Structure 1
Amino acid sequence: MKLCKFHLRYHPPGILLEYLQSGIIKFKTIDLLDFTAKSDVQSIVKSIAQTEQLITENVIDQLNLCINKLKKKLEAEITVGRHFYIYKTLQSHLLPITNVAFNKEGKKCLTASYDRTCKIWNVETGKEEKSLLGHKNVVYSVSYNFPLCDRIVTGSFDKTAKIWDTVTGECLSTLWGHQAEVVSASFSPTNDLVATASMDHTARVFHGSTGQEVSTLLGHSGEIIALNFNRCTGQQIITGSFDGTISIWDIRAKERAGVLKGHDAEISNCVFNWDCRLIGSSSLDKSVRIWDVRKQISLTNIHNHTDEVLDVAFDWCGRRLASVSADCSARIYDACTDFRELAVMIGHKDEISKVSFSPGGTLLLTASADLTARLWNSHNGTCTQVLSGHRGEVFSCAFNYHGDTVITASTDNTCRVWR
């Protein structure tokens, strides 16, 4: 084996080793989830060199430079006082937007709409690049295939999903089989598979290149509204349903590997943490739960909200979990030790439907029916900025990969880009 080059991953901290083995280029990831701006670089380098055979004496200096670069990036993200200004308004949809997504570099974004289209935008110019036409009903879900981002999958109320070429805008394949609305569709992070979830109580897995169905995942007794791949293996999917349960599916075995029961009402979302050892879930029963994936047990049941919990999100290291609710509050919990509440964010005047951490984890972003999004200090819960200007409910929001751009989507048919 011969090391070819280092690739830095800022969020969460890590290094990707690109190496040559038997004439084949391969990759290996070294996670540095405990690395902070205060970490000792020399100790980290020494520890990696002692445990990783690809790190030889002649690349130690290069590794040192990489870790120092990573540290400087984290130091730059400590400041939470940054102010975001309106940069562009994306407006050409005829009906309300349903979802948004950045590509990996944050230079392009997708919008889905009730007008039956998905649009590709140039974030730098604010110009529409492509309008993806072909669905016969609402386009509800949009997603890139990370990290390449050369394909898009859309899920629609017309009971299909479609895979598109990002350059030409051509529809590469249509994924058939569902008997009701497709509300979630995403690519596997590790192999050429696409999974879809539907109001017909099923999830389905397809070959990404051919569009051929691989398996139908049966077992839920209610609509499936959330679906996520295990990013570590790509061979596991979780689904959250209106039947109040979360299912864990083994893609290779094409069967359900476990059912997480405990919520007393519909699931609103379920997500893996970074290393996929934990699942966070939110429910209309006003509770938040954190689950152990391997043991398939609930580690905690949090009832701090006074109304329906509408969304949850882990920070990029998977150490903290945030939740938002119809009670107009956002809350952050320790997800690894005692599960205590770390911060409460009060200020929105109507229900909060979406939450996400900034890539560095210092900020929390929330979207609300009060026509605003807000940025919060994720450590003490203070509001650092109100993103106002939309004329309708703000139902979706996201950071780009570098954390220097925010997008907000509203029922006023527009997205606003903030920098």
Structure 2
Amino acid sequence: MLLLSGIILEYKKGGLLRTKSIDLLDLTPETNPEELVAEIRQSEPLITESRADQVKHLIIRLQQKQGQQDHHRFITGSYDRTCRVWDTASGTELHTLEGHRNVVYAIAFNNPYGDKIATGSFDKTCKLWCADSGKCFYTFRGHMAEIVCLAFNPQSTLVATGSMDATAKLWDVETGEEVATLTGHTAEVLSLCFNTVGSQLVTGSFDHTVVIWDVASGRRVHTLIGHRGEISNVQFNWDCSLIVTGSMDKTCKLWEAVSGKCVATLVGHKEEVLDVCFDLSGQFIATASADGTARVFNATTHECLVTLEGHDGEISKVCFSPQGSRVLTASSDKTARLWDVQSGVCLQVLEGHTDEIFSCVFNYEGDTIITGSKDNTCRIWY
């Protein structure tokens, strides 16, 4: 399977379907596909001579996607009931997506394609839009309460929505029809994430549990029990083998996706963990906390490598740069900070917002940062 950050291999072992990832984060449109295939084959026995041409074809397709993808737009959702599409280079507004009757709380592009946008609202609906024209394709109706999280699957054929009604739903992008309702949580579904092959969805809830769902059948695979507080965020790693969860109980937990077993509890924060994420390679985990610090952990040894200290307020958002060498944090102290992953040194303080920053993100190349604030503005940093 093809993704912008690499290739997922599917193979059978012991009668079971397994997956393995090939990281292609350094791939550019100028990379020689034949030389790259030869290099991959040296370290990956699954790529036999008979499969080499197929892998070369996937690499060429990936290079074409990189060349075609529009990396220069971003979207914002607002309490003014709209989603807006912006040009990253100029800061110019391209489209205003109007139609929701309440707060637009959750938004997403259908990466890696970037031609559709999904918006989830407190009006209990999700809308699907054309990213190029701003036209609304469908309005997904069925939730009984506010929609607070959503995501496209990697194939861009489904949208998943999570709601305060304690359910998640799957919607068909092509037809606009509801595919499944995922029931079992007893409180709000606050976070959800597809794995990188799109076969599973994980949901995190205020009921302190996390559930892994089989996307094809809509059935529950595992319920991950162990946290003693509400779940703030959930995420699969790149090769679909692990899930990380952050909780209001001040900890993060690492779980095996296949077995549902907890393999580690990451401790050290003195207040609630408000956000958690893997880097793209799956080697590191970053956590953000209400205690005003962020931490970087080794995903294999579970050791805390660095503690990022300097903010004067809670950190609500954390993310890695695409290259994995930098961490970005957003805080209620009205600043965002850029950190070096290895040393934990603060490289830059992004100042200028007049209220707390609740969102921060890198662009695909990792050379531009966008921050969103309660001061009703976004800022673009180069």
Instruction: Using structure 2 for the length normalisation, give the TM-score.
Output: 0.87
The residue that corresponds to 1:299 in the other structure is 263
Equivalent in 23, 35, 38 of residue 32 of structure 1: 23
Equivalent position SS for 2:138: strand
The reply on whether 1:107 has 2:104 as its aligned counterpart is no
After TM superposition, the structure 1 = structure 2 runs for residues 112-261 of structure 1, keeping only pairs within 5 Å, are 112-232=77-197, 234-261=198-225
Give the counterpart letter for 2:262 in structure 1. S
Q: CA deviation at 1:319?
A: 1.1
Q: CA deviation at 1:260?
A: 0.2
Q: Does structure 1 conserve the Cα–Cα contact (< 8 Å) formed by 2:319 and 2:361?
A: yes
Cα separation, partners in 2 of 1:177 and 1:123, compared to 1, 3 Å:
same
Cα separation, partners in 2 of 1:143 and 1:35, compared to 1, 3 Å:
closer
Question: What is the CA deviation profile of residues 42-89 of structure 1, one whole-angstrom value per residue up to 9, with x for unaligned ones?
Answer: 754644696342436xx8xxx9x9xxx9xxxxxxxxxxxxxxxxxxxx
What is the root-mean-square deviation of aligned Cα atoms in Å?
2.8
Q: Does structure 2 conserve the Cα–Cα contact (< 8 Å) formed by 1:104 and 1:401?
A: no
Equivalent position SS for 1:392: coil
Supply the distance in 2 between the matched residues of 1:135 and 1:185 (Cα, whole angstroms).
Answer: 16
Give the counterpart letter for 2:360 in structure 1. C
Give the counterpart letter for 1:395 in structure 2. F
Equivalent in 244, 248, 253 of residue 280 of structure 1: 244
Cα separation, partners in 2 of 1:16 and 1:305, compared to 1, 3 Å:
closer
The count of residues paired between Structure 1 and Structure 2 equals: 355
Supply the distance in 2 between the matched residues of 1:16 and 1:222 (Cα, whole angstroms).
Answer: 34
Give the counterpart letter for 2:344 in structure 1. G
Give the counterpart letter for 2:381 in structure 1. W
Cα separation, partners in 2 of 1:366 and 1:390, compared to 1, 3 Å:
same
Q: Does structure 1 conserve the Cα–Cα contact (< 8 Å) formed by 2:23 and 2:281?
A: no
Equivalent position SS for 2:52: coil
| Higher RCO structure (Cα 8 Å, ≥6 apart) | 1
Equivalent position SS for 1:227: strand
Cα separation, partners in 2 of 1:282 and 1:48, compared to 1, 3 Å:
closer
Cα separation, partners in 2 of 1:379 and 1:262, compared to 1, 3 Å:
same
Supply the distance in 2 between the matched residues of 1:383 and 1:143 (Cα, whole angstroms).
Answer: 29
Cα separation, partners in 2 of 1:350 and 1:278, compared to 1, 3 Å:
same
Question: What is the CA deviation profile of residues 12-56 of structure 1, one whole-angstrom value per residue up to 9, with x for unaligned ones?
Answer: xx4699xxxxxxxxxx997137999xxx98754644696342436
Equivalent in 344, 356, 365 of residue 381 of structure 1: 344
Q: CA deviation at 1:105?
A: 4.1
The residue that corresponds to 2:316 in the other structure is 353
Larger Rg: 1
Equivalent position SS for 1:290: strand
The residue that corresponds to 1:408 in the other structure is 371
Cα separation, partners in 2 of 1:209 and 1:341, compared to 1, 3 Å:
same
Q: CA deviation at 1:292?
A: 0.6
Q: Provide structure 1 residue ranges, at least 5 long, that are not aligned to the other structure.
A: 1-6, 18-27, 70-102
Supply the distance in 2 between the matched residues of 1:121 and 1:175 (Cα, whole angstroms).
Answer: 24
The reply on whether 1:396 has 2:369 as its aligned counterpart is no
Question: What is the CA deviation profile of residues 303-323 of structure 1, one whole-angstrom value per residue up to 9, with x for unaligned ones?
Answer: 210000000010110111110
Instruction: Using structure 1 for the length normalisation, give the TM-score.
Output: 0.79
Runs of 4+ in structure 1 deviating by more than 2 angstroms, as ranges, are 14-17, 32-36, 40-56, 103-106
Give the counterpart letter for 1:184 in structure 2. C
Supply the distance in 2 between the matched residues of 1:213 and 1:113 (Cα, whole angstroms).
Answer: 25
Q: CA deviation at 1:190?
A: 2.1
Supply the distance in 2 between the matched residues of 1:373 and 1:197 (Cα, whole angstroms).
Answer: 28
Give the counterpart letter for 2:317 in structure 1. K
Q: CA deviation at 1:163?
A: 0.2
After TM superposition, the structure 1 = structure 2 runs for residues 317-328 of structure 1, keeping only pairs within 5 Å, are 317-328=281-292
Supply the distance in 2 between the matched residues of 1:382 and 1:155 (Cα, whole angstroms).
Answer: 37
The reply on whether 1:308 has 2:272 as its aligned counterpart is yes
Question: What is the CA deviation profile of residues 244-290 of structure 1, one whole-angstrom value per residue up to 9, with x for unaligned ones?
Answer: 00001112222111100000010000111111110111100001111
Question: What is the CA deviation profile of residues 214-263 of structure 1, one whole-angstrom value per residue up to 9, with x for unaligned ones?
Answer: 1111000010000111122x121100000000001112222111100000
Equivalent in 326, 329, 341 of residue 366 of structure 1: 329
Give the counterpart letter for 1:413 in structure 2. N
The residue that corresponds to 2:30 in the other structure is none
Equivalent in 327, 332, 345 of residue 296 of structure 2: 332
